[in-house]
Amino acid sequence: SLDQQAQYIAGAMTLGYEKYQPWLGNMFLWNMNFAVLWAAQTPPQPNHEQASFGLLNPDWSPRPSFNAVQGLVAQIKQEEGR
């Protein structure tokens, strides 16, 4: 589900930040907007496998995973005083 996707992504990022710092400098989350790209194809393919993993819906609205990442980044910045 989309909520489960958000939990997995935020959990992985939290684990990387808490357990592997300072060795892990950056994390890269691939496939932010593939739902948008596949929906824009001719003909539209909103159910393409890559579209399912995106952080955004075909109309550019955020999925729970986008909000989870955004909230996690804000939380980390606040904890670090940035």
Q: How far is CA 24 from CA 16, 17, 35, in A?
A: 7, 7, 29
pLDDT at position 81, please?
86
pLDDT at position 55, please?
94
| pLDDT tens for the 82 residues of the chain, in order | 999 999 999 999 999 999 998 888 888 888 889 999 898 888 988 888 888 889 999 999 999 999 999 999 999 889 888 8
Whether 76 contacts 27, CB under 8 Å? no
4 CB-near residues (< 8 Å, 6+ apart): none
pLDDT at position 72, please?
94
30 CB-near residues (< 8 Å, 6+ apart): none
Count of domains for the chain: 1
Which pTM was predicted?
A: 0.83
pLDDT at position 9, please?
95
